[in-house]
Amino acid sequence: MEKKFLKGNEAVAEAAILAGCRFFAGYPITPQNEIPEYMARRMPQVGGVFLQGESEVASVCMVYGAAAMGKLAMTSSSGPGISLKAEGISTLAGAQLPAVVVNVMRGGPGLGTIQAAQSDYLHATKAMGHGGFRVLVLAPSTVQEAIDLTYKAFGLAVKYQNPAVVLMDGWIGSMMEPVTLPEPKEPVRNKYTGWGTRCFNPQGVGVVDVVSSCLLEPDRQELLNIRFGEMYDTWARNEVMAEEYMLGDAEYVIVAYGTAARAARTAIGSLREKGVKAGMLRPITLYPFPYDALKRLDRNRVRFLLDTEMTLPVQMKDDIRLGVADAMPVHTCGRSGGVVLTNEDIEDALLRIVEEEGK
């Protein structure tokens, strides 16, 4: 396997190409601009197509068209741009078409700030668009994971004929780390298996598939939604990923993902040196969320959990509370608007709560 020194955004783009992606459409927005820049250079080299749409809306519709024709396709954006793509992502899901969407998060809401943040957890995991559909959401915490999870996202998108999202904060998109690249996959034409209609081919004899997310018959739409619900249950059984770090004897559990998890890991090392038994649960799939890992925590040993995110108010807390069924307290530690969350922030927050609970 080839080793390189890559920036996170470039790593995502190269991983997509190695996974067989041969169509990319996007639109510039900080902090993900290196992804379309890299794709503009690399796609022609591998026989693929790069298009910069006139808008985010146009680019996600181009991805829909490419996916409908059997191409593995990807788009990327950040915050407000992902909101503009929401209808197209919903249409991809409704038509049962695979595609990968990369969100390199910035501060929000609104246009927010161009600095990195973790502001889009709720958008990605609860309401990526209208209609109640879901997407698999993968959250890397290193540049190597950005490669591995992007590569995996294409496989999952094809397996389930559904969009998959790589949710990556802007710090990981901007940092450079040594990485090992996976083996390239041969680009293959994805065979449409959705519930579109069949009609006579106006160009010749026979019938053709009409790819559509609009099912006019209510009973048929309901059956499709039932099928989606069964698929989401399958994800919860088979596709959940999480890292458990120093949880064997932990009395205080930090829950964090992405760059926040990197800071938490350092904080745990310092806390352990002070005799404070801290550990971390790091969700890798944000949807489906690793509820079972939270349920396995020892209620007799763990005194509280600390939801640590680079956004305010924190967005993961409700999922954490569901996982522990409110059997133990869930406190929060966050920074927002592009302010960097440090290991000192996390350590100070945890020690302050320990002191307050001891009074």
pLDDT of residue 103: 98
Q: Which residue has tokens 């999480």?
A: 242
* Contact of 117 with 337, CB cutoff 8 Å: yes
Answer yes or no: is 204 within a domain. no
Answer yes or no: is 65 within a domain. yes
Measured from the Cβ of residue 267, the count of other Cβ atoms closer than 10 Å reads 29
**Surface-to-core class of residue 358, CB atoms within 10 Å of its CB (0-12 exposed, 13-18 middle, 19+ buried):** exposed
**Surface-to-core class of residue 15, CB atoms within 10 Å of its CB (0-12 exposed, 13-18 middle, 19+ buried):** buried
Q: How many domains does the chain have?
A: 2
Residues 43 and 130 in one domain: yes
Q: What is the mean pLDDT of the chain?
A: 94
What are the beta bridge partners of residue 333? 308
* pLDDT at residue 206 greater than cutoff 80: no
Give the long-range contacts of residues 323-327, CB within 8 A, separation 24 or more.
Answer: 323/289, 323/290, 323/291, 323/292, 323/293, 323/294, 323/295, 324/294, 324/295, 324/297, 324/299, 325/295, 327/299
**Surface-to-core class of residue 83, CB atoms within 10 Å of its CB (0-12 exposed, 13-18 middle, 19+ buried):** middle
Domain of 36, CATH number, reads: 3.40.50.970
* Contact of 310 with 341, CB cutoff 8 Å: yes
Answer yes or no: is 222 within a domain. no
Residues 27 and 174 in one domain: yes
Residues 126 and 61 in one domain: yes
Domain containing 274 equals 243-358
Residues 177 and 295 in one domain: no
Residues 93-123 pLDDT 10s: 999 999 999 999 999 999 999 999 999 999 9
Residues 291 and 183 in one domain: no
pLDDT of residue 192: 85
Residues 180 and 291 in one domain: no
End residue of a domain, out of 235, 254, 288: 235
* Contact of 115 with 337, CB cutoff 8 Å: yes
Mean pLDDT, range 22-38, rounded to an integer: 97
End residue of a domain, out of 235, 264, 294: 235
pLDDT of residue 3: 86
Residues 121-140 pLDDT 10s: 999 999 999 999 999 999 99
pTM tops 0.85, yes or no: yes
Residues 295-342 pLDDT 10s: 999 999 999 999 999 999 999 999 999 999 999 999 999 999 999 999
Question: Percentage of the chain surpassing pLDDT 90?
Answer: 88
Residues 185 and 290 in one domain: no
pLDDT of residue 210: 79
Answer yes or no: is 210 within a domain. no
Answer yes or no: is 163 within a domain. yes
Residues 10 and 135 in one domain: yes
Answer yes or no: is 354 within a domain. yes
pLDDT of residue 218: 85
Residues 309 and 173 in one domain: no
pLDDT of residue 217: 83
Residues 44 and 178 in one domain: yes
- Interatomic CA distance for residues 270 and 275, integer angstroms: 9
Answer yes or no: is 82 within a domain. yes
Answer yes or no: is 69 within a domain. yes
Residues 169 and 304 in one domain: no
Domain of 286, CATH number, reads: 3.40.50.920
Residues 181 and 323 in one domain: no
What value, to the nearest 5°, has the Cα angle with vertex 175 and ends 174 and 177?
A: 140
The mean-pLDDT minimum among 102-106, 202-206, 281-285, 353-357 falls in 202-206
What value, to the nearest 5°, has the Cα angle with vertex 67 and ends 31 and 228?
A: 95
Q: Is the peptide bond before 98 cis (omega within 30 degrees of 0)?
A: no
